[in-house]
Amino acid sequence: MKRKVMPSSPEGFTTEATVRKISPKGYLEQGIMKYDVEVIFTLPDSIRIYSGFNATAELVLIEKEDILIIPESCLTFRNDSVFVDILKQGKSESRHIKTGISDNIHIEVVDGIRDDDRILKKNKDTR
């Protein structure tokens, strides 16, 4: 899997890398979860790095296109079911939905609402 890697030095430099291994267990350091990652990448001759340097990597584990997403804050959980409130003919209606992947801010809606439904969030109308 090829992913973008940003070595800590030089500033602003990015390159593509092939991920060989990601540690299954991370560690908490200054409030940030960190994972050991082993990658292979090629650098131009003008860039020098040394053993043990740090880098930041952007890893996309799941990616989907053309999906319906809503803010997770719109969800209501009852038992093992998920609901959203929609505006229908001027009234609030609770609708059972099926959800998919989430980035902890937005969540995919697989079934239960359409993209033209008006979702209610904390007494405010959103889309």
Q: Which residues contact 26 (CB under 8 A, 6 or more apart)?
A: 33, 34, 35
Chain-centroid distance, C-alpha 77: 21
**Tokens matching residue 99:** 């959800």
Bridge partner residues of 119 (DSSP): 86, 126
**Tokens matching residue 103:** 């980035």
Chain-centroid distance, C-alpha 100: 12
Q: Whole-prediction pTM value?
A: 0.56
- Residue 72 has φ and ψ, to the nearest 5°, of -60, -25
For the domain covering 69-126, report its CATH number.
2.40.420.20
pLDDT of residue 72: 92
Tens digits of pLDDT across the chain (127 residues) = 555 655 555 666 777 788 888 888 888 888 877 888 888 887 788 877 777 777 777 777 777 889 999 999 999 999 999 999 999 999 999 999 999 988 878 999 999 999 999 999 755 554 5
pLDDT of residue 37: 81
